[in-house]
Copies of this chain bind each other. A is one copy, B any other.
């Protein structure tokens, strides 16, 4: 086996980059949940991520949001139900390509809670980024993107 091929040999799934990604993602989730428990906020971590996505993509319909957050339409609709009930987003009927869709937008009170939580988490995120050199952080981001693109070509994310 040449040096070039050495890094291709995977003897165990749990040694693969995919599985390491899964484990690392669980750590991130645990951290997020801990932070939310501390601030005892009025929204869940999942709702927070969806709210942030909505604020970054104004006027998207539910299905397009579902594609962004990688959940199915059913689950996306339910999270949006909860966010709407809490007054952080509002939905309006509209048409896209001559089809009825529900357009989602963040409300002023949604902006408030989003900004407050983002500010509160800023120190932790800075801490996380600081453990990397700027170059390694760029490589990490690029690598993750590469993984997503590679998988996109193999499996259709059917949402």
Contacts and interface: CB of A to CB of B under 8 A. Distances in A.
Interface of A: 3-4, 6-8, 10-14, 16-32, 34, 48-49, 52-53, 55-56, 70, 117-118, 121-122, 124-132, 134, 136-148, 150-152, 154-155, 157
- Number of copies of this protein chain within its complex: 2
Contacts of A129: 7-8, 10, 17
Nearest to A55: B12
Contacts of A127: 150
Interface residues of A: mostly helix, strand, loop or mixed? helix
A143 to B, nearest CB: 5
Contacts of A11: 118
A113 to B, nearest CB: 13
A127 B23 CA distance: 21
Given A139-B136, A150-B131, A49 B126 contact: no
Contact of A155 (B14, B20, B31, B137): B31
A37 to B, nearest CB: 10
A143 B138 CA distance: 11
Contacts of A125: 8, 10, 13, 16, 18
A31 to B, nearest CB: 5
Contacts of A4: 134
Given A7-B129, A14-B56, A49-B19, A27 B151 contact: yes
Given A30-B151, A31-B151, A150-B131, A17 B122 contact: no
A154 B31 contact: yes
